Chains A and B, each alone.
Chain A
Amino acid sequence: DIQLTQSPSFLSASVGDRVTITCRASQFISTYLAWYQQKPGKAPKLLIYAASTLQSGVPSRFSGSGSETEFTLTISSLQPEDFATYYCQQLNMYPRIFTFGPGTKVDIK
């Protein structure tokens, strides 16, 4: 099975900071990667799919990039509502298995 790792696991940042989270896949996954935001007690929310496509309604300060095995989620100017945990996710086609990364918690400095 393809494994996803995220770095860092935790980051402390201030409002207005530029934040970058990295997701690495153990094998080539083309651009089939998604990013989610999860706040405590809530279901995850899709932010980015196909590595770089912004989901409808998601603020443009969120962006995604990358391909093959290395991907990044960038928040250009961190807002108070962005403090949350972020997960990457991919679907392996053969065999068909969805995988989530271990998560990156973004906390207030």
Chain B
Amino acid sequence: QVTLKESGPVLVKPTETLTLTCTVSGFSLSDPRMGVSWIRQPPGKALEWLAHIFSNDEKFYSTSLKTRLTISKDTSKSQVVLTVTNMDPVDTATYYCARTGGTSGRDFDYWGQGTLVTVSS
């Protein structure tokens, strides 16, 4: 059974760095078919893709946010970590991690439940 679960702080202050962890089960982060993305959704708004990491450690980022994002993985712990620097209230959103590789490799077949992060002083 494939599952993904996000964890991290629910509240961060402006200018702080956010660190989120996605813990996966039911598949291996070393499987060459698999990748994991982070996607966020501000309240009442659309989905926004942030970053992706493949099993070979290849990474790519949203054009508009790439200077603030870092994605990494620890295969032995089955975890994918996202850091977002210089948080701002506009970064308030539900943050999801999602898997690619189970279907065409270009879409997300499994998602975590999401974690709401609020940015406020």
**Chains A and B bind each other:** yes
Question: In the complex, which residues 37-86 of chain B have their Cβ closer than 8 Å to any Cβ of chain A?
Answer: 37, 39, 46-49, 52, 60, 62-63
Could you say which of A14-22, A67-75, A76-84, A94-102 contacts chain B? A94-102
3 shortest A-B CB distances, which residue pairs? A34-B107, A43-B111, A98-B49
Interface residues on A, range: 20 to 34
| Chain B residues touching A, range | 20 to 34
Chain A min CB distance to B66 (Å)? 10
Interface residues of A (CB under 8 A from B): 1, 32, 34, 36, 38, 43-46, 49-50, 53, 55, 87, 89-91, 95-103
For A101, the chain B residues whose CB sits under 8 A away are 46
Is A1's CB under 8 angstroms from B103's CB?
no
How many Å lie between the Cα of A53 and that of B96 in the bound state? 24
Among residues of B, the one whose C-beta sits closest to the C-beta of A46 is B109
User: Do the beta carbons of B111 and A44 come within 8 Å of each other?
Assistant: yes
Q: How far is the CA of A91 from the CA of B104 in the complex (A)?
A: 11
| Selected contact of A49 from candidates B48, B63, B103, B114, CB within 8 Å | B103
Contact of A32 among B37, B52, B104 (CB under 8 A): B104
